[in-house]
Amino acid sequence: MIVRQRTNWLKMLFIWRGSVLKKIVVQLSVILLFSLSIYYFKGKIFDYKVHLNPTIFTLIGLALAIFMGFCNSASYDRFWEGRKLWGALVIETRSFTRQILSLVNDPSPEAKEEKEKIIKMISAFCWALNYQLRDKTGTEHLTRLLSPEQAEQLKDKKFIPSIILGFIADWLNEQQRKGNMDTIVMTSMDHQLNQFSGISGGCERIYNTPLPFAYSVLLHRTVYLYCFWLPFGLVDSLGWMMPLIVLLISYTFIALDAIIQEIGEPFGEEENDLALNSMCRTIEYSIFEQAGIPQGELKKPDSYFID
């Protein structure tokens, strides 16, 4: 995801990175060439004049805009729900880390090391969820944050975040068995694990339930049919300006169609998807800072940061 500071209006007209223009430039070029050919032949196909009233395109364009508005709202709801789930994960990881540091009363000399292990497991859970949603392994982070035995247990597993939650639950049970926390604290921490599980399940729901394919097909077909028929309706009334006006209208509709498809899958790695890597680094930095675990400097997004 590109995180960019708001710039002045003139620069906004020429921004390339972060826009969907580079994804649709070929389609727009084809439509422009098609419009120029229609202008050259005066709206004729094999000497047959195609008569299309511009009013028809006004009605179709209005209906298409309403339908695209609905699809855009549905896609943005998915994007925003994914962002809220990861925002909740940031909060829950910090709260869980605070509980571990303050409520687990382990008097043994190894207490600090044991708490660091569990905090690293929390970070491993976030990275595992990130890579599960992106169909990646994330082995480098799991081997860095987990013990060799735990990393070995995760091999060939599909739902790795759930297994890491099991590791955390086993650690909590061991602390309760040793008498380092009472039942009330254990209940509170178990509730935190349920929150993690709920966040993971919510992300999987978005990932496994895309927008209905029929909506995408209908929108895609209608947009392109509209854009390719539009030159016939405007060639007589606009003359040489017709290709430019068609290009502008086509850019609006086709770009919005591309945006709908892009943000409808918020956990991908395109420029307008959620910055999951950045959020995982933020979580790891903040909980390591709470626990006093040495770490490198947090990489903050700059004007042209791509997750």
Report which residue type is found at 198.
G
| pLDDT at 138 > cutoff 70 | yes
Mean pLDDT of 221-250: 90
Amino acid identity for residue 212 in this structure: P
pLDDT attached to residue 196 = 96
Give the integer Cα–Cα distance in Å for 272 and 307. 10
User: For residue 304, what pLDDT band results from cuts at 50, 70 and 90?
Assistant: very low
% of the chain with per-residue pLDDT over 90 = 43
pLDDT tens, 90-121?
Answer: 999 999 999 999 888 878 878 888 889 999 99
Name 293's Cβ contacts closer than 8 Å, sequence gap at least 6.
116, 119, 120
Backbone angles phi, psi at 305, to 5 degrees: -75, 125
Longest Cα–Cα distance of the chain, Å, equals 93
Residue 4: pLDDT band (50, 70, 90) is low
Residue 156 confidence (pLDDT) above 90? no
Cα separation, 203 vs 78, whole angstroms: 10
Q: Do the Cβ atoms of 206 and 192 come closer than 8 Å?
A: no
> Which of these, 47, 54, 64, lies nearest to 235 by C-alpha position?
54
pLDDT at 3: 59
CA-closest candidate to residue 272, choices 85, 76, 135, 133: 76
d(CA 49, CA 41): 9
Is the confidence at residue 164, as pLDDT, over 80? yes
Q: Which long-range contacts (CB under 8 A, 24 or more apart) does 109-114 make?
A: 114/171
Contact 284, 123 (CB under 8 A): yes
Amino acid 303: pLDDT: 47
Choice between 10 and 160, residue whose per-residue pLDDT is larger: 160
pLDDT, tens digit, for every residue of 47-84? 777 777 888 888 888 889 899 999 999 999 999 999 99
Domain enclosing residue 53, as ranges: 2-306
pLDDT value at 170 more than 90: yes
Q: Say if residue 277's pLDDT is above 70.
A: yes
Query: For a pLDDT cut of 70, what percent of the chain falls above it?
Result: 91
Number of structural domains (the chain) is: 1
Residue 288 — pLDDT band, cuts 50, 70, 90?
very high
8 A C-beta contact, residue 165 and residue 193: yes
Average pLDDT, the chain: 87
Q: Which helix (H) or strand (E) holds 305?
A: strand 305-306
